[in-house]
Amino acid sequence: MTSKIDYQAPDGLLENRIILVTGAGDGIGRAAALAFARHGATVILLGRTIAKLEKVYDEIEANGGPQPAIFPLNFEGATLKDYHDMAETLDKEFGRLDGLLHNAGLLGRITPFEQYNPELWEQVMQVNINGPIWMTQALLPLLKYSADSSVVFTSSSVGRRGRAYWGAYAVSKFATEGFVEVLADELEHLGNIRVNSLNPGATRTQMRKTAYPGEDPSSLRTPEEIMPTYLWLMGPDSRGHNGEKFDAQPSGS
Ligand SMILES: NC(=O)c1ccc[n+]([C@@H]2O[C@H](COP(=O)([O-])OP(=O)(O)OC[C@H]3O[C@@H](n4cnc5c(N)ncnc54)[C@H](OP(=O)(O)O)[C@@H]3O)[C@@H](O)[C@H]2O)c1
């Protein structure tokens, strides 16, 4: 597992790139959307809470970034048709996609498997892996139109080594790692699309707070602090890296 935690992104790193970020309204996704825009990307903000996406939109505009776009979508209810309609809209609007950050995620419950609620399990699998997979399928033609596109799936330490009580969340992240290997291998011959997995590590967000309520948040890195690896993966410097696992923090915790 490699890392680019000290990467110094040049100002115009992502100029002329069109990048879609899922779960862009909060936490790590919000920080990634802002960082990508700050480095010149046109960012498509996807998420389920429109008010949060609008705030990020306004922030990007206030920072003088390229005009972003908002795409409301809830992975829980989204259908194949929604993904294909979305691809059609993006095709008309942008004609291609240079980056896709799968970041939206649901924790579910940390609980003994014996007590895991099957409906919640399905929900977590839907948001964390099934939805993103079918969205990727619909967006593949747009990624192929790009001269250099990067698809990043967000993993977790519990998607690389199982841990008691992490249930559907851990299983969805293992599936994510597996899917990255399959898709990366399948697209390798094209030469213009790379697919990698990224573990953010323990980061100061609402999800982390829910998972570890007793932890002191100030002991954790902020989403902004873990952006170097995100920028490196989205920019041209990561070209040639395909099917690899990355960590955004030294410990990969
Ligand atoms: N924070 C950590 O320590 C940590 C560690 C390892 C991995 N990760 C991974 O990093 C990613 C980001 O996590 P985070 O910590 O930033 O979590 P977060 O603050 O809870 O943000 C999660 C984002 O996903 C969105 N989302 C949740 N369910 C959705 C749905 N059904 N449809 C569309 N969007 C949905 C949320 O939207 P709303 O704002 O509308 O709820 C939010 O924008 C996740 O994949 C997570 O598994 C985080």
pLDDT of residue 225: 97
Q: How far is the CA of 191 from the centre of ligand 1 (A)?
A: 30
- The closest of 35, 57, 5 to 226, measured between CA atoms, is 5
pLDDT for residue 152: 98
Which one of the listed residues 7, 116, 145, 169 is annotated catalytic?
Answer: 169
**Rounded Cα distance, 53 and 147, in Å:** 28
Token digits of residue 95: 């004609």
Half-sphere exposure of 95 (CA within 13 A, CB side): 3
**Ligand 1 site, residue 38, Cβ cutoff 6 A:** no
- Predicted pLDDT of residue 3: 72
Ligand 1 atom showing the smallest separation from residue 210 Cα: 20
Domains, the chain, in order of start with CATH, read 2-247 (3.40.50.720)
116 noted as active-site residue: no
**Residues in the chain with pLDDT < 70?**
1-2, 251-253
pLDDT, tens only, 38-89 = 999 999 999 999 999 999 999 999 999 999 999 999 999 999 999 999 999 9
Alpha helix stretches (DSSP H) within the chain: 27-38, 50-62, 80-94, 118-125, 131-145, 167-187, 206-211, 227-234
Q: CA angle at residue 120 from 115 to 124, to 5 degrees?
A: 125
